[in-house]
Structure 1
């Protein structure tokens, strides 16, 4: 991610820079990540289960492997990072792939990584297009999803579902940015006030009351 975020709407696109969010990203890059969870189990429900089903349809024989680490982005704020490893298929030229997701909890980070992986896999494997015709896809190296047009879909139920999924995906993207910005501001305030707590000038309860009043 760069220092500027892309906000996309009907009127076009523009870069919006957030100094606090930039600081959060730099802090994450310098922070020490501690591995706290690892699994190759296909049992988790939700998006990890959907990803594994998708991989099997694309002839992958091994379930994705998730490694989750956490780091402190503030005195009382924790960020989780999930990396999902997709092992290569038994085809010549097939390469393993790895995708990264973030979240404020272990499960949110895993679901974020699975969601990103699903979008990339749909773009990589054209054979999945007929089975997931309206699921968002994403080219490798890109942060923006691509959508097939649902305008010519004769089945109005599928057309409405496709439009709903597209709208929900854009909503998820915007909410994710807002949540990330809010967490960045909270962590920034915690780091500013923490020295006063250490000196006994303010209690931690008063700190949280102050933070909640500013959010």
Structure 2
């Protein structure tokens, strides 16, 4: 069970999500309003946050209530993750065992976004995304979907994000994307991340 998350100012925050798919990677990379609207059912973050208890794919780890029997079935969260994607993975493993994840908005908490990292907090929207975010994403995809799927996911997101940046340049319209996101994504993709590992040896 996951709670309704609110900021200090009472603003509602997303905390109920869909599992990642190749379609969601395409949409996430493209970041185009019309495609998000037309294909909203494939977005990881639903455009509307449920007002009633709703079964979802996965929940924000900021506030979760988990049955002990779930832990008996799948164990604790995978400690390979430093930050990010661990709750997605946990909910996916529970889903494979037949457990359901429910978003219950009557359970409410105040969530101080990004206090551990500053990745998405306040005036830090454009702060560079940390390397461990990309590592967690890649680990999650390879663990649950395999190397070929991960390569397709990287091509989907990276290709569409390239289109997004080209469109921004043509329209002279620029979004608050994290600094160096295009470069960092490809450098940490399944195609090039081995270069960093080789240098670390």
So what's the TM-score if we normalise by structure 1? 0.25
Larger relative strand fraction: 1
So what's the TM-score if we normalise by structure 2? 0.26
Higher RCO structure, 1 or 2 (CA under 8 Å, sep 6+):
2
